[in-house]
Structure 1
Amino acid sequence: MNSKLAKLDMLDDLCSRMASIESHFNIVKTEIKDIRYDLKQQSERITNGEYHYNIVESRVCGIEAGNEKLQNENFELKENLLKMQTHSMKYNLIFSGIKESNERQNEKVEDTIKEFISNELKIDSEAIPFQNVHRQEQRGVGKPRNIIAKLVKYSDHKMKRSAAYENLKNKKRGGGFSTIPR
């Protein structure tokens, strides 16, 4: 009988072990189910993130293309502005080193420049019409302000430039040069 009781005890022990294994198996099964759920959630987040990344990437590409287009337009506008400035300033001559009259307010700049052209450049200043003549703002202490003279004809511009070079190259005061935009 002892052997039968021992076998029954052994069976009880096996049943208890099986119940314990079954309990652990159910816990593992639940954990695997939770892991699968978490994995599915992470997969959905990654897919959603990729979708948003693609949207952002396409927007960035569009912005970069727009920026490049704007840079090209800006460059073209600067080139056109430079051409227009060059054309507008083509008739201008700047005269430097011509002393200002003591009465700056009442100075007749056109008369001053005509006198300079007659005396220093040896050109009949009355034969050359000006569209506009004015002095620039002060550029340094003790230095006379430059005079900008806009000529009506470009041929007068060339003539004055060459006369300025010939007649003023050895003198220390006064000079005439073209204006070129930067």
Structure 2
Amino acid sequence: MKKSNTATPSTKRNRPEDSPGAVSSPGSNMSDILDSIDKRLSSLDCRLNLLEILHKEFQGLRESLEFSQQQVQELAAENQALRETVKTLGHDTARLSEENRSIKETLLDLQARSMKDNLVFAGIPEEAGEVPENIVKSFIEVHLKLPKEEVQKISFHRVHRLGGKRPDNQRPRPIVAKFEHYKQKMQVKSRGRELKDTHYSVNDQFPGEILRRRKILFPLRRKHLSAGARAVVAVDKLFVNGKLFRDPEVTPWLC
């Protein structure tokens, strides 16, 4: 007789919980889900914190940029103001330069006018204990061949040697004579032709600056004369065929 199997179907289906085919309980699944959600929320919090940090940094950068833009605008305004100031200063400098040049020319003209009655006698030997006035009158009579009675009429404000005495005494110092009467000065000057081919000379006295200008003009005068033109130097001006010679590079004092 066969032995009956007393095990029920439900008994056959039940397995130990730790067996490989065991099914997780609902409580365990829920815990896993909550853990996962918590991890995700934690990750989301980190991202939100990072976004907040980035937002603050961005806000700081924007404020810094706005401040920089404001500074740039202020600097641009200051730069424009400086440009206007420099422009004004440039105009003022040009005006002052022109006024300064005009003043210098005026002073030079006054200095030249103060010498209009003067003649410079060059080449006359120096003598110990000399009286310059007597030497000049003797020179006018002997070398310029002006009659003695005319020489005796000449009167001077003063007559003296120019500069300090030279130790070598080889080159005599020029004598400057200031005439009391302009006509007498011109009378003496007109006799200068008598000194041709000698080591003597008689010339008008001019300030140093005008002498420098005349040194520039006389070679030009000779050049125009050799070309057949009429050329005359008057103080610091050259007239060619009656027209004033001007050249910014050669005669800047006239431009």
TM-score, L = length of structure 2: 0.63
Write 1 or 2 for the structure with the bigger share of helix. Answer: 1
SS of the residue 2:145 aligns to:
coil
- Bigger shift: residues 56-65 or 144-153: 56-65
Aligned partners of 2:46 and 2:153: how far apart in 1?
121
Given the alignment, which residue of 204, 208, 211 partners 1:178? Answer: 204
Say if 2:134 is the partner of 1:111.
Answer: yes
Contact 1:138 1:144 in 2 (8 A): no
Instruction: Please give the per-residue CA displacement for 1:64-87, whole angstroms capped at 9, x wherever unaligned.
Output: 222212101111011111221222
Residue correspondence of structure 1 range 16-165 to structure 2 within 5 A? 16-103=42-129, 107-123=130-146, 124-138=150-164, 140=166, 141-142=168-169, 143-164=171-192
- Specify which structure has the bigger relative contact order, considering alpha-carbon pairs within 8 angstroms and separated by 6 or more residues: 1
Aligned partners of 2:181 and 2:46: how far apart in 1?
111
Aligned AA (1:110): E
Q: Which runs of structure 1 show a deviation greater than 6 angstroms over 4 or more consecutive aligned residues?
A: none
SS of the residue 1:121 aligns to:
coil
The alignment yields a C-alpha RMSD, in angstroms, of: 2.0
Structure 1 unaligned blocks of 5 or more? none
Aligned AA (1:146): P
1:53 to partner: Cα distance: 2.6
> Which structure's CA Rg is the greater one?
2
Q: Percent identity, please.
A: 27
Structure 2 unaligned blocks of 5 or more? 1-25, 210-255
Aligned residue pairs total 177
Instruction: Please give the per-residue CA displacement for 1:102-137, whole angstroms capped at 9, x wherever unaligned.
Output: 22xxx3211111011011111131132223211111
